[in-house]
Every structure is written in structure tokens, then in C-alpha cells.
Chain A
Amino acid sequence: GAGVSQSPSNKVTEKGKDVELRCDPISGHTALYWYRQRLGQGLEFLIYFQGNSAPDKSGLPSDRFSAERTGESVSTLTIQRTQQEDSAVYLCASSLEAGRQETQYFGPGTRLLVL
């Protein structure tokens, strides 16, 4: 079956522009997660959704970052007024539920470069 998909795969933008990153989870997965991986660093948790609600947004680095999910399916991560330090690979994952014993399945990521 289809895995987690993300688009675009690569994005180059100019500092100050807004960008939207999209994630399509595995069909039937109610939980969706966003992580960020900056060059040479480990993955950082950003936010997760259970259904269309986001119980934990604690990892969002600033108010320039926001995310939404609709129809318990697609999610969009929006970064406003991008900065060079936002350059990273943004990874999305999904799981059946947001349970403590659930395997998270990751997409290929979106590579964002802010010039």
C-alpha cells in the first residue's frame, strides 16, 4: 500500500517568503507528526495531530510556524517570513493512533533551502 507522501520534495525560497509543506499520511492513520532535521543535527519534534486536533504544538520553534490538518488526512505545515535558519529537511510521519506503542511511519521529507 501507499506510504506517507510529502510535497514538494525540494523547495528553494528567498528569505522573508512564506512556504507551505504538504503531508499525505497513510490511509486510515489518525495520528500525524511533523519533525525537522537540520544539517548535522538530530530530528526535532515539531507538532502532532490526533484527528484534526493538535494536542501538542510544543516543538514549533516560533509563531512563524503553524500547521493544520483537515479531514483527518492531509496536513500542511506553513512557515511565514522564512529565515535562513529554517533551512532543513521537514519530515512527516503517521501512525494508526497517537498511542505510546505505535510505530511511526515516515515520509521522504521536504528539503527546504532559504536563501
Chain B
Amino acid sequence: KQEVTQIPAALSVPEGENLVLNCSFTDSAIYNLQWFRQDPGKGLTSLLLIQSSQREQTSGRLNASLDKSSGRSTLYIAASQPGDSATYLCAVGDYKLSFGAGTTVTVRA
């Protein structure tokens, strides 16, 4: 069974600082890895999808890397803003996603 772990569970940073969120998974035979954002009382918003053949994906201030051999992914958010405050989830799988418990980020103005 795929186990997904996210560290840290919570993170508080001042505005402008770069964010580094970590995700690890136990079974390296994954098809893709997705990063989502979850705001309180709302659903999940897809941020980035990294296919198993890729090493990284970028979208604006977001960059996600994938190292299948070590079972790790890292989400970098550059120049954080208060609007980045949310819970960030990583998920691996194909049609059936296995989720980590998330990292709750607070960006202080």
C-alpha cells in the first residue's frame, strides 16, 4: 500500500520568504504526482502535475521536483504572499490517488 508523508505538518513564514514543502512516498512505481492546494471550507485546487517521466514542473512562482528513485517530491513557492496561506497536499497514483496529510502554511504579512 502506498504511504505518502508530508513534512512539516505546519509552517509559518514572513511574507516574501521562499517556501519549501516536502512529500515522500513509499512505492516508487508511481504514474504521476500532483500537488493541490486546499483552502478552509473549499475543495482542492490542482497546482501542478508531474508525470512519472518528468523531473520537475513549473507554474509561475511554483516549482515542483520529483525524484522517483528516492521517493520524494518538493514544492517550492517563491516570494510567498499572504494569499499563499492554505493547506498543501501531495498525491500520487494513477486514477486512484493516495494523499498525504498536508502541510498547513501561514504567510504572515
The interface of chain B, by Cβ under 8 A from chain A, is 4, 31-32, 34, 36, 41-46, 49, 51-52, 89, 91, 94-102
The interface of chain A, by Cβ under 8 A from chain B, is 4, 31, 33, 35, 41-43, 45, 48, 56, 58-59, 91, 93, 95, 98-109
Q: Mostly helix, strand, loop or mixed at chain B's interface?
A: strand
Please, which residues of chain B bring their CB within 8 A of the CB of A42?
A: 4, 89, 99-102
* Given A101-B51, A103-B34, A106-B36: A48 in contact with B46 (beta carbons within 8 A): no
Report Cα–Cα, A108/B40, bound state, in Å: 10
Please, which residues of chain B bring their CB within 8 A of the CB of A95?
A: 95
When the two chains form their complex, are residues B101 and A107 in contact, meaning their CB atoms are under 8 A apart? no
Please, which residues of chain A bring their CB within 8 A of the CB of B4?
A: 42
When the two chains form their complex, are residues A103 and B44 in contact, meaning their CB atoms are under 8 A apart? no
CB distance from B87 to the nearest CB of A (A): 11
* Given A42-B102, A100-B94: A91 in contact with B44 (beta carbons within 8 A): yes
When the two chains form their complex, are residues A106 and B102 in contact, meaning their CB atoms are under 8 A apart? no
When the two chains form their complex, are residues A101 and B42 in contact, meaning their CB atoms are under 8 A apart? no
When the two chains form their complex, are residues A91 and B43 in contact, meaning their CB atoms are under 8 A apart? yes
Please, which residues of chain A bring their CB within 8 A of the CB of B41?
A: 108
- 10 more CB-based (< 8 A) A-B contacts, given A98-B95, A106-B45, A109-B42: A4-B43, A43-B89, A43-B99, A100-B32, A100-B52, A100-B95, A106-B43, A106-B46, A108-B41, A108-B42
CB distance from A42 to the nearest CB of B (A): 4
Closest 10 CB pairs of A and B: A100-B31, A100-B94, A106-B44, A106-B43, A43-B99, A98-B95, A108-B43, A42-B99, A42-B101, A45-B96
